[in-house]
A and B are shown apart, each in its own frame.
Chain A
């Protein structure tokens, strides 16, 4: 396993290029008023990490409370606020923007050979909206919080709680607009800003995945925005649209809410899948198996994603006919995910595999996402859904997809592109350890929850029957391991900013256009605007390129 593809420049002579996007301008204002997609990505990265750890701390509180069957660590309404804020922060302020707003923002223009996103000011605006929403959410949490659950279920949220539903709703509304603008920007960029020769089927799969996710962001998010507006009006002046006593149907809220929030799951996972495609290809030195199938499966997920939302409501009183339709369509949307998993697996076939940290995370992703995806089928099948929905089974399922899938992919991507973003390598051994610790901790935390859910333990409860305690103790113990796994990267990545080895342009010998320029990149990304003259993941091209460079160097030296 000591084999590695990493090729670093000679440490004695190597140095970070003097002119790059970080050093081009100085001062706080140059960051806060920047139009550079890379700087905005860095701003996002910092703020997202901040929100992740707030959400993580709340998760820690939840696990601590669940250590014992009684509700003893905090009052039940505090517990309710804690899990509500955990959900809201993690979903709207971490998972939805995580990969797209950081890695996507940074690398979409670079991968397609553009100087920037099409709308740099809009990009900056979306960061400000994100921060405004995030700060509003945090302030709300600090000044009383909200206890509706992140789903804002009516009529609970409209008439039966007196916590801060309005400000939280506003925070989510604002964050939604940030997400819309990001998605819009990506679609325009991918359509209009591609370098000459960069045809649709030469795009890296990372771009395809982001394109699919962006479609969802643009088309689905406005629906949750109007749903939140209606909740706010229902709460303030009682318009009655969701109020059964006035003839409204509370289920209509769920229709509108899930019309966004189900595609939102794909908004979260698709960019992660994009990362995995890049990582697996790079570390097995092979073009992704079935490129077109993987590309189209992303689009298929995005399109089918619009047709399945009511599977969140199978037992909530929608018509049985609708249950049949939505259950069937749910089965269809599971297929593209299966296609992706198998294609990644077969990318390894006859590859030349090395096991750097991003690859370890990618393996973790594949295992955990397979479990997460399969358990999704349990819930999509209307029969088993009756027993399993609204229990810890569903909690475990979406944590396998979101944390086991998305977060693993996010960490894979951060490690993979860290040398490009900062120009320095992270410490390999330590990070491999962190990847393994994360994987183990994750399974310890969430696997017992599948069993708890099958046993019938409801979600969102502070106290539970004592026979569930053992598995909950396992879960909490696992969460501490998981916490360590997440803290480690923060420490060593910050350490590497100063002490990491100089990475050079292309430490992984990867083929993407982003690797063919200096690290950290120039503000303009490329010295000469690139022309794409080969397919994506063409390692032979890369080799020819490197040989040609070597020859010119030698001839210059000679």
Chain B
């Protein structure tokens, strides 16, 4: 033992104590994913063992010394069929099993708490519904389904939490979602796994999983004062959205109350579910999905609102369950000073 250099010894000790074959299972989906993973490892090991054993056995039995003259064998349809059908069957099992898990990871439950995460070179910005804002960190409670709605401001990023076994690309110009339910409190790695430029390596963060109680405390202590919906309301007013989107009989745009999650008839025929992605598109590329009964007069807000702004607006629209709040913003719009007025009357680009 003494002959081994202390550095190597330390190294080995460190290795043996920290050795892990897979990351901690800290979400509900993790054990399910691991079950499939270990099934595949098992199948691979069996397959590999069969090949290695056969090769070794044949090498011993039929090496030239023992078996100087080869017996010519053309092949065997039965064997060919065996090693076509058995692997195919196993692969199909893996396909179905994998598809089921894929289905689960990307189908959030209806009651999930939604957190927005915006990726940009080179940081993650998380927006909690209550207005809590985090950079390269995400605090979440255990025992609650969390849906993360992702978007990127620039290039592709990938939101990866190995301990939860989830990963989703953050795409420029489009929302993607992933959900998970954390089970074990602790701090876990958050990585950007899609190469995104110079400081890709530094685009990491911490996922802090807390008990629901701690989480409530954390929420209270790190609030920025206004919730996302409140920020959205402010934006709704300052962009004069209510000039058209109100409940007056002569309103030029559809009313926003209760819009979220509703099926909207489109002027081009067909319907669309007003989800986050639709609302975002309706703000930035309004002419692509015109609600039936309205003229395509809404101007685009592309380049005028940041991704966070869009998120706030969506949260605001989500929160609208009565007309009262819209009326409020309408009143504030009416009371705005003259300088802000043109924005309100800008309306259509050219009738």
Contact = CB atoms under 8 A, between A and B. Distances in A.
Interface in B27-76: 33, 36-37, 40, 43-44, 47-48, 51-52, 54-55, 58-59, 62-65, 67-76
Nearest to B21: A451
A514 interface: no
Contacts of B171: 244, 250-251, 316-317
A330 to B, nearest CB: 8
B169 A315 contact: yes
Q: Give the one of B21, B48, B75 with max A CB within 10 A.
A: B75
Nearest to B166: A386
A375 B40 CA distance: 9
Contacts, number: 289
A423 interface: no
A459 B23 contact: no
A265 B348 CA distance: 52
Contacts of A488: none
B197 A339 contact: no
A286 B72 contact: yes
A71 B70 contact: no
Interface string A312-329: 001111001001100110
Contacts of A79: 201
B189 A348 contact: no
Contacts of A429: none
B94 interface: yes
A85 B35 CA distance: 38
Interface string B67-99: 111111111100110011001100110110111
Q: Give the one of B97, B102, B166 with max A CB within 10 A.
A: B102
A315 B168 contact: yes
B211 interface: no
B106 interface: yes
Interface stretch (A17-25, A106-114, A302-310, A349-357): A349-357
B111 interface: no
A476 to B, nearest CB: 13
B44 A375 contact: yes
Interface string A287-302: 1011111000000000
B105 A386 contact: yes
Report the interface size class on chain B: 35 or more
Interface in A338-391: 338-339, 341-343, 345-346, 348-355, 363, 366-367, 370-371, 374-375, 377-378, 380-387, 389-391
A293 B162 CA distance: 41
B195 interface: yes
Contact of B91 (A331, A345, A353, A470): A331
A97 interface: no
A351 B167 contact: no
B70 A285 contact: yes
Contacts of B103: 320
Interface in B199-238: 199-202, 204
B68 to A, nearest CB: 6
Interface in A375-434: 375, 377-378, 380-387, 389-391
A353 B68 CA distance: 8
B200 A390 contact: no
Given A160-B154, A384-B36, A384-B40, A366 B62 contact: no
A316 B75 contact: no
Given A338-B83, A352-B62, A454 B22 contact: yes
B201 A461 contact: yes
B70 A383 contact: no
A76 B201 contact: yes
A351 B160 contact: no
Contacts of B76: 289-290, 346
B283 to A, nearest CB: 15
A456 B14 CA distance: 19
B270 to A, nearest CB: 17
B97 A331 contact: no
A155 interface: yes
A353 B58 contact: yes
Contact of B37 (A293, A387, A461): A387
Nearest to B92: A331
A355 B121 CA distance: 54
A153 B176 CA distance: 18
B312 interface: no
Given A334-B87, A375-B44, A455-B162, A383 B200 contact: no
B18 interface: yes
Contacts of A467: 18
A164 interface: no
A335 B84 contact: yes
B156 A320 contact: no
B259 interface: no
B174 to A, nearest CB: 6
B87 A328 contact: no
B198 interface: yes
B75 A149 contact: no
Interface in B288-331: 302-303
B147 interface: no
Nearest to A473: B11
Contact of A245 (B74, B193, B197, B302): B302
10 contacts: A1-B63, A77-B198, A80-B200, A315-B158, A316-B171, A350-B67, A367-B51, A389-B193, A455-B20, A456-B160
4 tightest A-B CB contacts, nearest first: A456-B162, A383-B101, A381-B98, A244-B173
Interface of A: 1, 3-5, 71, 76-77, 79-80, 147, 149, 153, 155-156, 160-161, 244-245, 247, 250-251, 284-287, 289-293, 314-317, 320, 323-324, 327-328, 331-332, 334-335, 338-339, 341-343, 345-346, 348-355, 363, 366-367, 370-371, 374-375, 377-378, 380-387, 389-391, 451, 454-456, 458-465, 467, 470, 473, 539-540
